[in-house]
Amino acid sequence: MQTHQFDALIVGAGGAGLMAALYASQGGAKVAVVSKLYPTRSHTGAALGGIGAALGNHEEDRPEWHMYDTVKGGDYLADQDAVRVLGEEAVDAVIELEHMGLPFDRTSEGRISQRRFGGHTSNFGEKAVRRACHSADRTGHMILQTLYQQCLRNQVRFFDEFQVVDLLLNQGVACGAVAIQLGSGEFHCFNAKATLFATGGWGRVWQVTSNAHSLTGDGAAIFLRRGLPLEDMEFYQFHPTGLYGLGVLLTEGIRGEGGVLLNRHGERFMERYAPTIKDLASRDVVSRSMYLELRDGKGIRGSDYLHLDIRPETVNRYLAEAGETRRIDEDFIARNLAETLEVCRVYAGVDPLQEPMPVQPTAHYAMGGIPTNVNAEVIVDAAGKVMQGLYAAGEVACVSCHGANRLGTNSLVDLVVFGRRGGKRIANFVREAPLIPPPMDAGEEVRAEFERIRNSAGSSRPGALRAQMQSLMMTHVGVFRTAEGMRQGRDAVLELRQRFLQDLGIDDRGQVFNTDLMEAWELGCLLDSAVVTAECALAREESRGAHSREDFRERDDANWMVHSLISSQASGLVTEQLELALNHDRPVDRSLEAEDERFAPKERVY
């Protein structure tokens, strides 16, 4: 196996990975970025609406208000030390992106333009505020391009189309990863003093999702298989406006610009569920409201979708009703929501300027993941013990600054703020730290697992297993949950996992770009992510944020103001029985609340 040595290994080239790579390299570290996709194809490039920061370019805004919205939006499960960092450092991080050359939209005075987004308010919940900094509706694309250019300029070494399949641990310390070069099928060993995982989310666990095909939870599954804990896996966000049938995301920016959700009677139903903030309530609230409308038979033509309307005549009517002076026209939409128009025209044959868009909630974002502290260092127990040399950032990580539900625009903030912190920490760490060699048997187990898959000749096709898992998770571990449904879902997914281990069959036995093989391995990651999600969801007997239980409708702060930590007890990389251990010993950090009682839990919005 070919071995490469670096100070720092960054796994993943999305916003979080690139930010970490940039800062580690600026601090003098020799950095490699390993990515299964070409960097600018990472999902960060699909982020549309914007990045939140209290710049106050249009109206007064403050980091404390951003923190308040984040804590409230996360239904009080967010660690407030992390939220404080997020709110405070967002401002500076966005200005830094601007200085790197990111082409933000501008106000007439030449400042960064900001738009409204769900859950963002001024003065502790008083009224909607313009906080989302954007570059039309291509913000993520611009972030990714900007950071990639900066990394190239800084001599970061890129290993594109290398897929990491195992984490290397030696003497209780992380020392790199094993990857497959997709073009040759060869295994490579990356030995490093510091390893940071930024592999993104796992939306592909569900049938209807906004996530790219590549979001298969590899990083989370690798950690689980290496006996490391995952945090708050029950919290998975459904975004209200996925394009019907496809799940492709229609940005919240559409509602931010004035778009409204309507049922079959043309009623703006969010007025009933969230009278003050209406269509801009946080995502969990809007998704639940949509489900209730659909359940009441108020879907369009009795079907399971609703309408999202951005036509100027509709929007202007509601703006006038609200006493606002602002009006929009077709030009405004074409300029600010260009991607949206394109997506609807191409994928749904719908022109949003002429007719409303058909939408349904779509699986979107993992609040849970690899537990870290505010410096992106991976922690391995409820007390916050750090594993030396191991870091995580971005969607795969759980700091936790989003708690039980993430606010729109806060993921991009999370990437740049905690990616940067991780990079800086790594630069300091590698200056003193020794390079620990890989263990003697590095890669042996994972190679055996790949040989098993490559030679598998059973009757269960990966595509069929995946489709069944996605449908089960959509039905039983989706927006609304019950114990009975989740148990049924979990047991059925465990059976699929059994078939994956005992009866798998793939066709391609080759080495070069064997997508059959890689997709089968990714299916294993998805199945593991699905099982731990269901397991954690079943254990949490309350409703909070995105976790909504019909059998436990109330939020229960007395018993459940705690994080979940789940880990696999089995030894061995891929085991027949998933012996899971789950604890709730990790308390929520409530440092903001200790200083200002406005951060204390308020009643839950249903």
Ligand X SMILES: Cc1cc2nc3c(=O)[nH]c(=O)nc-3n(C[C@H](O)[C@H](O)[C@H](O)COP(=O)(O)OP(=O)(O)OC[C@H]3O[C@@H](n4cnc5c(N)ncnc54)[C@H](O)[C@@H]3O)c2cc1C
Q: What is the per-residue DSSP string for 538-574?
A: HH--S-BTTBEESSS-S--HHHH-EEEEEEE---SSS
Residue span binding ligand X (CB under 6 A) among the ranges 6-14, 280-288, 379-387, 560-568: 6-14
Residue of the chain from 29, 198, 453, 492 that contacts ligand X (CB under 6 A): 198
* 113 interacts with ligand X by CB under 6 A: no
For ligand X, what does the binding mask look like between residues 47 and 76, x meaning CB under 6 A? xxxxx-------------------------
* 395 interacts with ligand X by CB under 6 A: yes
Residue span binding ligand X (CB under 6 A) among the ranges 10-18, 439-447, 551-559, 567-575: 10-18
* 411 interacts with ligand X by CB under 6 A: yes
Task: For Cα atoms 254, 256, 261, give the angle at the middle one, nearest 5 degrees.
Answer: 60
Nearer to ligand X, 128 or 412 (CB): 412
Nearer to ligand X, 37 or 486 (CB): 37
* 405 interacts with ligand X by CB under 6 A: no
* 176 interacts with ligand X by CB under 6 A: no
Report in angstroms how near the CB of residue 397 gets to ligand X at its nearest: 8
Q: What is the per-residue DSSP string for 207-223?
A: SSBSS-TT-S-HHHHHH
Q: Are 225 and 218 in contact (CB under 8 A)?
A: no
The pair of three-digit structure tokens given for residue 163, joined into one six-digit string = 């897929």
Report in angstroms how near the CB of residue 20 gets to ligand X at its nearest: 9
> Closest by alpha carbon to 200, among 392, 476, 450, 337?
392
According to CB under 6 A, which residues from 375 to 394 bind ligand X? 394
Alpha carbon distance 62, 67 (integer Å): 9
Report in angstroms how near the CB of residue 344 gets to ligand X at its nearest: 14
Cis peptide before 400 (omega within 30 of 0): yes
* 14 interacts with ligand X by CB under 6 A: yes
The pair of three-digit structure tokens given for residue 518, joined into one six-digit string = 């890689």
For ligand X, what does the binding mask look like between residues 350 and 379, x meaning CB under 6 A? ---------------x--------------
Helix (H) or strand (E) holding 6: strand 2-11
In degrees and rounded to multiples of 5, residue 173 shows phi and psi of -125, 145
According to CB under 6 A, which residues from 321 to 350 bind ligand X? none
Nearer to ligand X, 141 or 590 (CB): 141
* 42 interacts with ligand X by CB under 6 A: yes
* 44 interacts with ligand X by CB under 6 A: yes
* 200 interacts with ligand X by CB under 6 A: yes
* 12 interacts with ligand X by CB under 6 A: yes
* 164 interacts with ligand X by CB under 6 A: yes
According to CB under 6 A, which residues from 213 to 242 bind ligand X? 214, 218-219
Alpha carbon distance 12, 198 (integer Å): 5
Report in angstroms how near the CB of residue 432 gets to ligand X at its nearest: 28
Helix (H) or strand (E) holding 93: helix 80-100
Report in angstroms how near the CB of residue 329 gets to ligand X at its nearest: 24
Nearer to ligand X, 492 or 546 (CB): 546
The pair of three-digit structure tokens given for residue 460, joined into one six-digit string = 């269960």
In degrees and rounded to multiples of 5, residue 115 shows phi and psi of -125, 170
Residue of the chain from 7, 15, 56, 156 that contacts ligand X (CB under 6 A): 15
Residue span binding ligand X (CB under 6 A) among the ranges 207-215, 344-352, 494-502, 565-573: 207-215
> Closest by alpha carbon to 426, among 2, 4, 11?
11
Residue of the chain from 70, 210, 241, 373 that contacts ligand X (CB under 6 A): 210
Alpha carbon distance 516, 485 (integer Å): 32
Three-state secondary structure of 16-58: HHHHHHHHHHHCCCCEEEEECCCHHHCHHHHCCCCEECCCCCC
Q: Are 237 and 284 in contact (CB under 8 A)?
A: yes
Per DSSP, 206 falls in state S
116, 264, 283, 311: which one is catalytic?
283
Report in angstroms how near the CB of residue 451 gets to ligand X at its nearest: 18
Residue span binding ligand X (CB under 6 A) among the ranges 93-101, 347-355, 405-413, 422-430: 405-413
Residue span binding ligand X (CB under 6 A) among the ranges 45-53, 148-156, 505-513, 585-593: 45-53
Residue of the chain from 348, 415, 504, 526 that contacts ligand X (CB under 6 A): 415
Residues sharing a CB contact under 8 Å with residue 58, sequence separation 6 or more, in sequence order? 107, 114, 130
Rounded to whole angstroms, the maximal C-alpha distance in the chain is 71
The pair of three-digit structure tokens given for residue 90, joined into one six-digit string = 């967002």
Angle, nearest 10°, between helix axes 410-432 and 139-153? 20
* 150 interacts with ligand X by CB under 6 A: no
> Closest by alpha carbon to 231, among 407, 79, 81, 88?
79
Alpha carbon distance 392, 265 (integer Å): 47
For ligand X, what does the binding mask look like between residues 483 and 522, x meaning CB under 6 A? ----------------------------------------
> Closest by alpha carbon to 10, among 145, 514, 462, 29?
29
Nearer to ligand X, 219 or 524 (CB): 219
* 535 interacts with ligand X by CB under 6 A: no
Nearer to ligand X, 163 or 340 (CB): 163
> Closest by alpha carbon to 382, among 187, 176, 581, 142?
581
Report in angstroms how near the CB of residue 70 gets to ligand X at its nearest: 12
> Closest by alpha carbon to 368, among 163, 249, 559, 224?
224
Number of residues written out for the chain: 606
For ligand X, what does the binding mask look like between residues 246 and 285, x meaning CB under 6 A? ---x-x----------------------------------
Has 283 been annotated as catalytic? yes
Report in angstroms how near the CB of residue 547 gets to ligand X at its nearest: 18
* 35 interacts with ligand X by CB under 6 A: yes
Alpha carbon distance 54, 66 (integer Å): 7
| Footprint of ligand X (CB under 6 A) | 11-17, 34-37, 39, 42-44, 46-51, 139-140, 163-164, 198-200, 210-211, 214, 218-219, 249, 251, 365, 394-396, 409-412, 415
- Catalytic center residues: 283
